[in-house]
Structure 1
Protein backbone atom coordinates (compact mmCIF):
# COMPACT_ATOMS: atom_id res chain seq x y z
CA UNK A 1 0.00 0.00 0.00
CA UNK A 2 1.48 3.34 -1.12
CA UNK A 3 2.12 5.84 1.67
CA UNK A 4 2.17 9.57 0.89
CA UNK A 5 2.06 11.88 3.90
CA UNK A 6 1.50 14.87 1.62
CA UNK A 7 -1.93 13.38 0.79
CA UNK A 8 -3.00 12.37 4.30
CA UNK A 9 -6.53 12.82 5.71
CA UNK A 10 -8.06 13.94 2.40
CA UNK A 11 -11.83 13.83 2.19
CA UNK A 12 -13.49 11.77 -0.58
CA UNK A 13 -13.15 13.49 -3.95
CA UNK A 14 -12.19 13.07 -7.57
CA UNK A 15 -8.67 11.76 -7.01
CA UNK A 16 -9.53 9.60 -3.99
CA UNK A 17 -13.11 8.32 -4.09
CA UNK A 18 -12.93 6.96 -0.53
CA UNK A 19 -10.50 9.62 0.70
CA UNK A 20 -7.13 8.95 2.31
CA UNK A 21 -6.11 7.97 5.81
CA UNK A 22 -3.63 9.44 8.32
CA UNK A 23 -0.72 8.00 6.32
CA UNK A 24 -1.92 9.21 2.94
CA UNK A 25 -3.02 5.75 1.79
CA UNK A 26 -5.89 5.46 -0.68
CA UNK A 27 -8.88 4.15 1.28
CA UNK A 28 -10.47 2.66 -1.84
CA UNK A 29 -7.42 0.46 -2.38
CA UNK A 30 -7.29 -0.46 1.30
CA UNK A 31 -10.98 -1.31 1.31
CA UNK A 32 -10.74 -3.54 -1.78
CA UNK A 33 -7.67 -5.28 -0.37
CA UNK A 34 -9.43 -5.83 2.94
CA UNK A 35 -12.54 -7.20 1.24
CA UNK A 36 -10.39 -9.56 -0.81
CA UNK A 37 -8.78 -10.93 2.34
CA UNK A 38 -12.15 -11.24 4.11
CA UNK A 39 -13.66 -13.06 1.13
CA UNK A 40 -10.78 -15.55 1.01
CA UNK A 41 -11.11 -16.22 4.73
CA UNK A 42 -14.89 -16.52 4.36
CA UNK A 43 -14.60 -19.07 1.56
CA UNK A 44 -12.08 -21.14 3.50
CA UNK A 45 -13.97 -21.12 6.79
CA UNK A 46 -17.37 -21.69 5.17
CA UNK A 47 -15.97 -24.65 3.22
CA UNK A 48 -14.37 -26.25 6.28
CA UNK A 49 -17.47 -25.65 8.39
CA UNK A 50 -19.85 -27.06 5.75
CA UNK A 51 -17.77 -30.23 5.25
CA UNK A 52 -17.57 -30.70 9.02
CA UNK A 53 -21.34 -30.30 9.27
CA UNK A 54 -21.90 -32.84 6.48
CA UNK A 55 -19.66 -35.48 8.05
CA UNK A 56 -21.00 -35.04 11.59
CA UNK A 57 -24.62 -34.74 10.44
CA UNK A 58 -24.48 -38.00 8.48
CA UNK A 59 -22.57 -39.78 11.25
CA UNK A 60 -25.09 -38.65 13.88
CA UNK A 61 -28.07 -39.80 11.82
CA UNK A 62 -26.65 -43.33 11.62
CA UNK A 63 -27.51 -43.67 15.31
CA UNK A 64 -25.71 -45.18 18.27
CA UNK A 65 -23.38 -43.40 20.62
CA UNK A 66 -22.13 -41.19 17.77
CA UNK A 67 -25.56 -39.58 17.55
CA UNK A 68 -25.53 -38.83 21.28
CA UNK A 69 -22.06 -37.28 21.16
CA UNK A 70 -22.71 -35.18 18.05
CA UNK A 71 -26.11 -34.03 19.31
CA UNK A 72 -24.51 -33.01 22.60
CA UNK A 73 -21.81 -31.06 20.75
CA UNK A 74 -24.43 -29.34 18.59
CA UNK A 75 -26.43 -28.24 21.65
CA UNK A 76 -23.24 -27.13 23.41
CA UNK A 77 -21.93 -25.01 20.53
CA UNK A 78 -25.34 -23.51 19.74
CA UNK A 79 -25.78 -22.61 23.41
CA UNK A 80 -22.75 -20.29 23.34
CA UNK A 81 -23.00 -16.89 21.60
CA UNK A 82 -21.26 -17.07 18.23
CA UNK A 83 -19.03 -14.05 18.66
CA UNK A 84 -17.90 -15.18 22.11
CA UNK A 85 -17.13 -18.69 20.89
CA UNK A 86 -15.18 -17.37 17.90
CA UNK A 87 -13.08 -15.17 20.19
CA UNK A 88 -12.36 -18.02 22.62
CA UNK A 89 -11.31 -20.42 19.86
CA UNK A 90 -9.24 -17.72 18.16
CA UNK A 91 -7.41 -17.06 21.42
CA UNK A 92 -6.84 -20.78 21.94
CA UNK A 93 -5.20 -21.00 18.49
CA UNK A 94 -3.04 -17.93 19.06
CA UNK A 95 -5.20 -15.42 17.13
CA UNK A 96 -3.91 -14.30 13.74
CA UNK A 97 -4.95 -16.01 10.51
CA UNK A 98 -4.99 -19.52 11.96
CA UNK A 99 -6.97 -18.41 15.00
CA UNK A 100 -9.63 -16.63 12.96
CA UNK A 101 -10.04 -19.54 10.53
CA UNK A 102 -10.30 -22.05 13.37
CA UNK A 103 -12.67 -19.86 15.38
CA UNK A 104 -15.11 -19.23 12.55
CA UNK A 105 -14.95 -22.74 11.06
CA UNK A 106 -15.43 -24.53 14.39
CA UNK A 107 -18.36 -22.39 15.48
CA UNK A 108 -20.61 -22.30 12.40
CA UNK A 109 -21.24 -25.98 11.65
CA UNK A 110 -24.01 -26.93 14.16
CA UNK A 111 -27.01 -25.41 12.33
CA UNK A 112 -26.19 -27.12 9.04
CA UNK A 113 -25.28 -30.36 10.83
CA UNK A 114 -28.69 -30.39 12.51
CA UNK A 115 -30.43 -29.87 9.14
CA UNK A 116 -28.41 -32.65 7.51
CA UNK A 117 -29.08 -35.00 10.42
CA UNK A 118 -32.81 -34.41 10.05
CA UNK A 119 -32.66 -35.09 6.30
CA UNK A 120 -30.75 -38.34 6.81
CA UNK A 121 -33.23 -39.49 9.46
CA UNK A 122 -36.03 -39.03 6.93
CA UNK A 123 -34.09 -40.85 4.22
CA UNK A 124 -33.44 -43.79 6.55
CA UNK A 125 -37.16 -44.51 6.50
CA UNK A 126 -37.34 -44.66 2.70
CA UNK A 127 -38.20 -48.02 1.13
CA UNK A 128 -35.10 -48.24 -1.02
CA UNK A 129 -32.83 -47.54 1.95
CA UNK A 130 -34.51 -50.24 4.05
CA UNK A 131 -34.25 -52.65 1.14
CA UNK A 132 -30.53 -51.92 0.82
CA UNK A 133 -30.07 -52.57 4.55
CA UNK A 134 -31.87 -55.93 4.31
CA UNK A 135 -29.69 -56.89 1.36
CA UNK A 136 -26.63 -56.40 3.54
CA UNK A 137 -25.32 -53.17 2.03
CA UNK A 138 -22.95 -51.47 4.46
CA UNK A 139 -23.78 -48.17 6.11
CA UNK A 140 -20.90 -46.48 4.35
CA UNK A 141 -22.16 -47.56 0.92
CA UNK A 142 -25.71 -46.49 1.78
CA UNK A 143 -24.47 -43.08 2.86
CA UNK A 144 -22.42 -42.68 -0.32
CA UNK A 145 -25.00 -43.97 -2.80
CA UNK A 146 -28.31 -42.86 -1.29
CA UNK A 147 -27.68 -40.10 1.26
CA UNK A 148 -25.04 -37.85 -0.30
CA UNK A 149 -26.88 -37.19 -3.62
CA UNK A 150 -29.99 -36.10 -1.70
CA UNK A 151 -27.97 -33.98 0.72
CA UNK A 152 -26.15 -32.04 -2.01
CA UNK A 153 -28.79 -29.23 -2.27
CA UNK A 154 -28.80 -28.66 1.50
CA UNK A 155 -25.03 -28.78 1.57
CA UNK A 156 -24.57 -26.21 -1.21
CA UNK A 157 -27.21 -23.90 0.24
CA UNK A 158 -25.68 -24.12 3.70
CA UNK A 159 -22.22 -23.47 2.27
CA UNK A 160 -23.32 -20.25 0.54
CA UNK A 161 -25.40 -19.04 3.48
CA UNK A 162 -22.54 -19.62 5.91
CA UNK A 163 -20.21 -17.44 3.87
CA UNK A 164 -21.70 -14.02 4.83
CA UNK A 165 -21.80 -15.06 8.48
CA UNK A 166 -18.17 -16.12 8.28
CA UNK A 167 -16.83 -12.84 6.87
CA UNK A 168 -18.99 -10.81 9.27
CA UNK A 169 -17.71 -12.68 12.30
CA UNK A 170 -14.14 -12.52 11.02
CA UNK A 171 -14.42 -8.74 10.74
CA UNK A 172 -16.08 -8.53 14.17
CA UNK A 173 -13.43 -10.46 16.10
CA UNK A 174 -10.65 -8.64 14.24
CA UNK A 175 -12.26 -5.31 15.11
CA UNK A 176 -12.35 -6.35 18.77
CA UNK A 177 -8.66 -7.30 18.68
CA UNK A 178 -9.05 -11.09 18.79
CA UNK A 179 -8.46 -11.80 15.13
CA UNK A 180 -6.02 -10.79 12.42
CA UNK A 181 -2.95 -8.78 13.29
CA UNK A 182 -2.85 -4.99 12.61
CA UNK A 183 -0.30 -5.56 9.84
CA UNK A 184 -2.88 -7.36 7.70
CA UNK A 185 -5.17 -5.13 5.57
CA UNK A 186 -8.44 -6.62 6.78
CA UNK A 187 -11.71 -4.71 7.04
CA UNK A 188 -11.81 -5.34 10.77
CA UNK A 189 -8.36 -3.81 11.15
CA UNK A 190 -9.35 -0.78 9.06
CA UNK A 191 -12.50 -0.21 11.12
CA UNK A 192 -10.63 -0.63 14.39
CA UNK A 193 -7.96 1.90 13.40
CA UNK A 194 -10.53 4.39 12.13
CA UNK A 195 -12.20 4.61 15.55
CA UNK A 196 -9.33 6.84 16.72
CA UNK A 197 -10.12 9.43 14.05
CA UNK A 198 -13.93 9.59 14.00
CA UNK A 199 -14.02 12.25 16.71
CA UNK A 200 -11.85 14.47 14.51
CA UNK A 201 -14.34 14.35 11.64
CA UNK A 202 -12.63 11.71 9.50
CA UNK A 203 -15.92 9.84 8.96
CA UNK A 204 -14.92 8.34 5.62
CA UNK A 205 -12.29 6.14 7.27
CA UNK A 206 -15.05 3.96 8.77
CA UNK A 207 -18.16 4.64 6.67
CA UNK A 208 -16.93 3.39 3.27
CA UNK A 209 -15.17 0.22 4.49
CA UNK A 210 -18.14 -0.57 6.73
CA UNK A 211 -20.68 -0.06 3.96
CA UNK A 212 -18.59 -2.16 1.59
CA UNK A 213 -18.54 -5.02 4.08
CA UNK A 214 -22.30 -4.80 4.64
CA UNK A 215 -22.90 -4.76 0.87
CA UNK A 216 -20.82 -7.91 0.35
CA UNK A 217 -22.65 -9.67 3.19
CA UNK A 218 -26.06 -8.71 1.77
CA UNK A 219 -25.11 -9.82 -1.76
CA UNK A 220 -23.90 -13.25 -0.67
CA UNK A 221 -26.89 -13.70 1.64
CA UNK A 222 -29.19 -12.94 -1.29
CA UNK A 223 -27.25 -15.41 -3.46
CA UNK A 224 -27.71 -18.09 -0.83
CA UNK A 225 -31.43 -17.40 -0.61
CA UNK A 226 -31.83 -17.59 -4.39
CA UNK A 227 -29.84 -20.83 -4.48
CA UNK A 228 -32.08 -22.28 -1.79
CA UNK A 229 -35.15 -21.44 -3.85
CA UNK A 230 -33.65 -22.95 -7.00
CA UNK A 231 -32.64 -26.18 -5.30
CA UNK A 232 -35.82 -26.43 -3.22
CA UNK A 233 -38.73 -24.83 -5.11
CA UNK A 234 -41.19 -25.94 -2.42
CA UNK A 235 -39.55 -23.51 0.03
CA UNK A 236 -40.93 -20.56 -1.97
CA UNK A 237 -44.45 -21.35 -0.70
CA UNK A 238 -43.43 -21.68 2.92
Structure 2
Protein backbone atom coordinates (compact mmCIF):
# COMPACT_ATOMS: atom_id res chain seq x y z
CA UNK A 1 0.00 0.00 0.00
CA UNK A 2 1.38 3.40 -0.98
CA UNK A 3 1.84 6.04 1.70
CA UNK A 4 -0.86 8.27 0.21
CA UNK A 5 -3.32 5.36 0.23
CA UNK A 6 -2.37 4.60 3.83
CA UNK A 7 -3.04 8.20 4.89
CA UNK A 8 -6.47 8.15 3.24
CA UNK A 9 -7.23 4.86 4.96
CA UNK A 10 -6.10 6.30 8.29
CA UNK A 11 -8.54 9.19 7.85
CA UNK A 12 -11.33 6.68 7.26
CA UNK A 13 -10.38 4.76 10.40
CA UNK A 14 -10.39 8.00 12.42
CA UNK A 15 -13.88 8.75 11.09
CA UNK A 16 -15.18 5.27 11.86
CA UNK A 17 -13.84 4.52 15.34
CA UNK A 18 -15.27 6.17 18.48
CA UNK A 19 -13.04 9.05 19.51
CA UNK A 20 -10.63 9.60 21.07
CA UNK A 21 -8.90 6.60 19.52
CA UNK A 22 -5.50 5.57 20.78
CA UNK A 23 -2.41 5.07 18.65
CA UNK A 24 -2.32 1.40 19.64
CA UNK A 25 -5.89 0.90 18.35
CA UNK A 26 -5.04 2.73 15.14
CA UNK A 27 -1.93 0.62 14.71
CA UNK A 28 -4.00 -2.54 15.14
CA UNK A 29 -6.56 -1.39 12.56
CA UNK A 30 -3.90 -0.26 10.10
CA UNK A 31 -1.58 -3.23 10.71
CA UNK A 32 1.43 -0.96 11.21
CA UNK A 33 3.56 0.08 14.18
CA UNK A 34 2.58 2.82 16.60
CA UNK A 35 5.64 4.74 15.44
CA UNK A 36 4.16 4.76 11.90
CA UNK A 37 0.87 6.04 13.30
CA UNK A 38 2.63 8.96 15.01
CA UNK A 39 4.39 9.86 11.75
CA UNK A 40 1.19 9.56 9.70
CA UNK A 41 -0.79 11.69 12.16
CA UNK A 42 1.86 14.38 11.85
CA UNK A 43 1.76 14.13 8.04
CA UNK A 44 -2.02 14.56 8.03
CA UNK A 45 -1.77 17.55 10.34
CA UNK A 46 0.88 19.08 8.07
CA UNK A 47 -1.51 18.63 5.14
CA UNK A 48 -4.21 20.63 6.92
CA UNK A 49 -6.31 17.98 8.67
CA UNK A 50 -7.31 19.03 12.18
CA UNK A 51 -6.66 16.13 14.53
CA UNK A 52 -6.88 16.83 18.26
CA UNK A 53 -5.07 14.77 20.88
CA UNK A 54 -1.64 13.31 21.46
CA UNK A 55 0.17 10.09 22.27
CA UNK A 56 -1.21 8.47 25.41
CA UNK A 57 -4.58 10.24 25.23
CA UNK A 58 -5.94 9.33 21.82
CA UNK A 59 -6.87 11.28 18.70
CA UNK A 60 -10.04 12.93 17.45
CA UNK A 61 -10.56 14.03 13.85
CA UNK A 62 -12.52 17.29 13.95
CA UNK A 63 -12.04 18.59 10.42
CA UNK A 64 -10.44 17.43 7.19
CA UNK A 65 -10.75 20.35 4.75
CA UNK A 66 -7.57 19.41 2.93
CA UNK A 67 -8.77 16.03 1.73
CA UNK A 68 -9.84 15.45 -1.88
CA UNK A 69 -13.41 14.21 -2.50
CA UNK A 70 -14.06 10.85 -0.87
CA UNK A 71 -13.44 7.76 -3.00
CA UNK A 72 -15.73 4.77 -2.58
CA UNK A 73 -14.97 1.14 -3.26
CA UNK A 74 -17.45 -0.86 -5.38
CA UNK A 75 -18.93 -2.71 -2.39
CA UNK A 76 -19.30 0.58 -0.50
CA UNK A 77 -21.27 2.08 -3.39
CA UNK A 78 -23.59 -0.94 -3.48
CA UNK A 79 -24.05 -0.81 0.30
CA UNK A 80 -25.05 2.85 0.01
CA UNK A 81 -27.43 2.04 -2.84
CA UNK A 82 -29.07 -0.74 -0.82
CA UNK A 83 -29.44 1.46 2.24
CA UNK A 84 -30.86 4.47 0.42
CA UNK A 85 -33.28 2.39 -1.68
CA UNK A 86 -34.49 0.67 1.48
CA UNK A 87 -35.01 3.99 3.28
CA UNK A 88 -37.01 5.26 0.28
CA UNK A 89 -39.45 2.34 0.76
CA UNK A 90 -40.07 2.77 4.49
CA UNK A 91 -43.25 4.77 3.97
CA UNK A 92 -42.02 7.97 5.61
CA UNK A 93 -42.51 10.90 3.22
CA UNK A 94 -39.68 13.05 4.57
CA UNK A 95 -37.13 10.24 4.42
CA UNK A 96 -38.37 9.03 1.04
CA UNK A 97 -37.58 12.42 -0.50
CA UNK A 98 -34.32 12.67 1.46
CA UNK A 99 -33.15 9.24 0.27
CA UNK A 100 -34.05 9.99 -3.34
CA UNK A 101 -32.22 13.33 -3.23
CA UNK A 102 -29.20 11.71 -1.57
CA UNK A 103 -29.03 9.12 -4.35
CA UNK A 104 -29.01 11.89 -6.96
CA UNK A 105 -26.24 13.77 -5.16
CA UNK A 106 -24.22 10.61 -4.63
CA UNK A 107 -24.48 9.66 -8.29
CA UNK A 108 -23.33 13.12 -9.37
CA UNK A 109 -20.24 12.84 -7.19
CA UNK A 110 -19.11 9.43 -8.51
CA UNK A 111 -16.94 8.62 -11.53
CA UNK A 112 -18.76 6.99 -14.45
CA UNK A 113 -17.74 3.43 -13.57
CA UNK A 114 -19.10 3.77 -10.05
CA UNK A 115 -22.30 5.39 -11.30
CA UNK A 116 -23.06 2.13 -13.07
CA UNK A 117 -22.55 0.29 -9.78
CA UNK A 118 -24.99 2.65 -8.11
CA UNK A 119 -27.64 2.38 -10.82
CA UNK A 120 -27.39 -1.37 -11.34
CA UNK A 121 -26.40 -2.72 -7.93
CA UNK A 122 -26.22 -6.47 -7.51
CA UNK A 123 -28.27 -6.33 -4.28
CA UNK A 124 -31.70 -4.88 -3.53
CA UNK A 125 -34.56 -4.86 -1.04
CA UNK A 126 -38.30 -5.28 -1.08
CA UNK A 127 -40.60 -4.35 1.78
CA UNK A 128 -43.97 -6.12 1.88
CA UNK A 129 -45.80 -4.19 4.56
CA UNK A 130 -48.08 -1.24 5.15
CA UNK A 131 -46.76 1.10 7.81
CA UNK A 132 -49.59 2.54 9.94
CA UNK A 133 -50.16 6.21 9.21
CA UNK A 134 -49.16 8.67 11.92
CA UNK A 135 -50.35 12.12 12.86
CA UNK A 136 -47.23 12.75 14.94
CA UNK A 137 -45.05 15.69 13.94
CA UNK A 138 -42.15 13.62 12.58
CA UNK A 139 -39.90 16.59 11.61
CA UNK A 140 -40.68 18.31 14.91
CA UNK A 141 -39.85 15.22 16.92
CA UNK A 142 -36.55 14.77 15.09
CA UNK A 143 -35.67 18.40 15.83
CA UNK A 144 -36.59 17.94 19.50
CA UNK A 145 -34.38 14.84 19.66
CA UNK A 146 -31.47 16.72 18.14
CA UNK A 147 -31.97 19.72 20.43
CA UNK A 148 -32.53 17.48 23.49
CA UNK A 149 -35.86 19.18 24.12
CA UNK A 150 -38.55 17.63 26.34
CA UNK A 151 -41.98 16.99 24.81
CA UNK A 152 -45.44 16.21 26.12
CA UNK A 153 -47.36 13.43 24.37
CA UNK A 154 -51.04 12.65 24.30
CA UNK A 155 -50.77 8.91 23.78
CA UNK A 156 -53.34 6.22 23.04
CA UNK A 157 -52.16 2.83 24.28
CA UNK A 158 -53.06 -0.53 22.73
CA UNK A 159 -56.18 -0.69 24.91
CA UNK A 160 -57.23 2.75 23.58
CA UNK A 161 -56.60 4.46 26.91
CA UNK A 162 -55.48 8.06 26.54
CA UNK A 163 -52.69 9.37 28.75
CA UNK A 164 -50.42 12.41 28.88
CA UNK A 165 -46.68 11.82 29.24
CA UNK A 166 -43.71 14.15 29.52
CA UNK A 167 -40.74 12.45 27.92
CA UNK A 168 -37.20 13.06 26.81
CA UNK A 169 -37.15 11.89 23.18
CA UNK A 170 -34.00 9.89 22.37
CA UNK A 171 -34.44 8.38 18.90
CA UNK A 172 -37.04 7.24 16.37
CA UNK A 173 -36.73 3.60 15.36
CA UNK A 174 -38.15 1.88 12.29
CA UNK A 175 -39.29 -1.62 13.17
CA UNK A 176 -40.70 -4.20 10.76
CA UNK A 177 -44.28 -2.99 11.17
CA UNK A 178 -44.23 0.33 13.02
CA UNK A 179 -42.19 3.41 13.78
CA UNK A 180 -41.59 4.15 17.46
CA UNK A 181 -40.22 6.94 19.61
CA UNK A 182 -37.76 5.61 22.18
CA UNK A 183 -37.80 7.96 25.16
CA UNK A 184 -37.04 8.47 28.81
CA UNK A 185 -40.43 8.75 30.51
CA UNK A 186 -40.33 11.37 33.28
CA UNK A 187 -43.38 9.82 34.97
CA UNK A 188 -42.08 6.23 35.10
CA UNK A 189 -38.44 7.29 35.39
CA UNK A 190 -37.51 4.62 32.91
CA UNK A 191 -37.23 3.98 29.19
CA UNK A 192 -40.46 3.74 27.26
CA UNK A 193 -41.36 3.19 23.61
CA UNK A 194 -44.25 5.07 21.98
CA UNK A 195 -45.61 4.02 18.59
CA UNK A 196 -45.86 7.05 16.32
CA UNK A 197 -49.24 5.95 14.98
CA UNK A 198 -50.62 5.96 18.56
CA UNK A 199 -49.42 9.50 19.36
CA UNK A 200 -52.44 11.82 19.20
CA UNK A 201 -50.61 15.13 19.64
CA UNK A 202 -47.21 16.53 20.59
CA UNK A 203 -46.38 19.63 22.63
CA UNK A 204 -42.80 20.88 22.54
CA UNK A 205 -41.74 22.11 25.97
CA UNK A 206 -39.29 24.83 26.99
CA UNK A 207 -37.21 22.29 28.87
CA UNK A 208 -33.83 20.93 27.88
CA UNK A 209 -32.32 17.63 29.00
CA UNK A 210 -28.92 18.33 27.43
CA UNK A 211 -26.41 16.68 27.64
CA UNK A 212 -28.08 13.42 28.70
CA UNK A 213 -29.26 12.00 25.38
CA UNK A 214 -26.08 10.19 24.33
CA UNK A 215 -25.60 8.57 27.73
CA UNK A 216 -29.25 7.52 27.97
CA UNK A 217 -29.18 6.00 24.48
CA UNK A 218 -26.06 4.06 25.35
CA UNK A 219 -27.74 2.73 28.51
CA UNK A 220 -30.86 1.79 26.56
CA UNK A 221 -29.01 -0.20 23.92
CA UNK A 222 -26.83 -1.90 26.53
CA UNK A 223 -29.99 -2.99 28.35
CA UNK A 224 -31.52 -4.26 25.10
CA UNK A 225 -28.35 -6.19 24.32
CA UNK A 226 -28.46 -7.89 27.72
CA UNK A 227 -32.05 -9.00 27.04
CA UNK A 228 -31.20 -10.67 23.72
Where is the helix percentage greater, Structure 1 or Structure 2?
1
Q: TM-score, normalised by structure 2?
A: 0.21
Q: Which has the higher contact order (CA 8 A, sep 6+)?
A: 1
Q: TM-score, normalised by structure 1?
A: 0.21
Where is the strand percentage greater, Structure 1 or Structure 2?
2
